């Protein structure tokens, strides 16, 4: 729309000063003739713009002119223009829309506020990806966004972590959740709430059927309940004995495996044993096994006994495979 383009043109002139029409045309993805017509339109609207032809000419604003209709404070401008979910917006298929919206808003913000927002941007990086975690591809995310927003049912082809062939199911989407750089679809399948990892959705088709979901749906509450059920259902409580020299390393490594909100709890020592006893609540059994195995003989698993037996079996199999 032309109104959008005029605001973007005004924003470019305010932020970057006089520029050649060719450069403006490239940024706005229009012809130079269109840029010159837009300059005439701004002038007719009372904006003090000028266009000088020739080798050293260009399009610009009269020095000192600024629009300031937003009323944004410096802090508000910094918050808006440094919004940490820009990557999420791009993955949702709304990256260009966010860019255009910020460009329109920037045209109304004072130069001082924009300069401070730019200064903060130069010293701040937002990285949502966890350490050692691969970037997940989520090409179906824009489709799921549209389905959830329009309250339409979706037919999914969903894979599993084990590599089995994808299965097909029809779900009623509640909404999308971004957690530590990973996207999840919260939906109902046959009347039961389910959580689907978006990177495992092979294909998604929006159906011309209204989604069946509670009238008083609270997505944040539903996500909290789903997460709590998952963590409680999979978690395991360990008692371990740790060599003093490995204690700090264990605390650091375990911080990535513990159930959210829990910390290692120190237990009374065994008489005559210099090792430190800790109780840990780990998110899942396989993570618990990996955590203990990582430290070899520096950490002994005392309980639960069934997990200790499983640990011995895993170690026996590893020794049989690698012992030679």
Mean pLDDT of the region 302-307: 93
Domain ranges of the chain: 2-61, 74-121, 141-232, 235-322
Q: Which of 210, 198, 86, 190 is nearest to 148 (CA)?
A: 210
Domain 141-232 sits in CATH 2.40.128: no
| pLDDT exceeds cutoff 90 at 126 | no
Domain 2-61 sits in CATH 1.10.10.10: yes
What was the pLDDT predicted at 310? 92
Question: How far apart (Å, rounded) are the C-alpha atoms in residues 135 and 158?
Answer: 19
Place of tokens 């979706």: 154
Position with higher pLDDT, 291 vs 70: 291
- Residue 199: which pLDDT band, with cuts at 50, 70 and 90? very high
Mean pLDDT of the region 46-65: 80
Residue pair 126/166 in contact (Cβ under 8 Å)? The answer is: no
Mean pLDDT of the region 201-206: 95
- The DSSP-derived string for 200-241 is GEEEEEEEEEE----TT--HHHHHHHHHHHHHHHH-EEEEEE
What was the pLDDT predicted at 72? 59
Question: How far apart (Å, rounded) are the C-alpha atoms in residues 130 and 133?
Answer: 5
Q: What are phi and psi of 176, to 5 degrees?
A: -115, 145
What was the pLDDT predicted at 69? 47
pLDDT above 70 coverage of the chain, percent:
87
Q: Out of 8-12, 94-98, 162-166, 172-176, give the one with best mean pLDDT.
A: 172-176
- Structure-block tokens of residue 175: 């909404």
| pLDDT exceeds cutoff 70 at 67 | no
Give the chain's mean pLDDT: 84
**Which of 158-167, 169-178, 265-274, 313-322 is predicted with the least confidence, judged by mean pLDDT?**
158-167
Position with higher pLDDT, 101 vs 324: 101
The architecture CATH gives domain 235-322 = 2-Layer Sandwich (3.30)
What was the pLDDT predicted at 157? 94
Q: Which of 60, 40, 41 is nearest to 50 (CA)?
A: 60
- Residue 279: which pLDDT band, with cuts at 50, 70 and 90? very high
Residue pair 308/301 in contact (Cβ under 8 Å)? The answer is: yes
13-42 residue pLDDT tens: 877 788 898 889 888 888 888 888 888 888
Residue pair 82/125 in contact (Cβ under 8 Å)? The answer is: no
Question: How far apart (Å, rounded) are the C-alpha atoms in residues 88 and 43?
Answer: 38
Q: Which residues contact 138 (CB under 8 A, 6 or more apart)?
A: 91, 183, 198, 199
219-262 residue pLDDT tens: 988 998 888 777 666 788 999 999 999 999 999 988 888 877 78
| pLDDT exceeds cutoff 90 at 121 | no
Mean pLDDT of the region 145-169: 89
Question: How far apart (Å, rounded) are the C-alpha atoms in residues 31 and 19?
Answer: 15
- Structure-block tokens of residue 277: 């006893």
What was the pLDDT predicted at 154? 96
Question: How far apart (Å, rounded) are the C-alpha atoms in residues 51 and 60?
Answer: 6
70-93 residue pLDDT tens: 555 667 666 666 665 677 788 888
């Amino acid at each position: 729309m032309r109104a959008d383009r005029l605001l973007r043109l005004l924003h470019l002139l305010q932020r970057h000063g006089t520029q050649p029409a060719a450069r403006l045309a490239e940024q706005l993805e229009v012809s130079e003739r269109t840029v010159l017509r837009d300059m005439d339109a701004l002038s007719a609207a009372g904006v003090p713009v000028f266009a000088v032809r020739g080798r050293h000419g260009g399009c610009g604003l009269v020095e000192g002119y600024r629009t300031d209709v937003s009323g944004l404070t410096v802090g508000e401008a910094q918050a808006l223009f440094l919004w940490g979910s820009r990557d999420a917006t791009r993955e949702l298929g709304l990256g260009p829309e966010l860019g255009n919206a910020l460009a329109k808003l920037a045209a109304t913000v004072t130069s001082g506020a924009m300069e401070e927002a730019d200064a903060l941007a130069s010293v701040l990086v937002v990285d949502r990806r966890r350490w050692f975690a691969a970037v997940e591809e989520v090409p179906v995310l824009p489709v799921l966004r549209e389905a959830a927003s329009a309250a339409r049912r979706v037919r999914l082809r969903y894979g599993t972590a084990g590599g089995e062939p994808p299965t097909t199911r029809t779900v009623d989407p509640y909404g999308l959740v971004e957690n530590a750089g990973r996207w999840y679809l919260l939906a109902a399948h046959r009347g039961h709430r389910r959580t689907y990892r978006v990177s495992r959705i092979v294909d998604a088709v929006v159906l011309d059927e209204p989604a069946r979901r509670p009238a008083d749906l609270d997505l944040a509450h539903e996500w909290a309940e789903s997460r709590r059920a998952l963590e409680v259902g999979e978690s395991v409580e360990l008692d371990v004995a740790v060599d003093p020299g490995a204690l700090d390393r264990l605390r650091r490594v375990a911080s990535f495996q513990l159930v959210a909100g829990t910390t290692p709890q120190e237990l009374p020592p065994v008489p005559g044993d210099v090792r430190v006893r800790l109780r840990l609540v780990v998110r899942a059994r396989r993570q618990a096994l990996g955590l203990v195995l990582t430290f070899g003989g520096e950490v002994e698993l005392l309980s639960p006994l069934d997990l200790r037996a499983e640990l011995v079996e895993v170690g026996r199999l590893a020794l049989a495979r690698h012992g030679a």
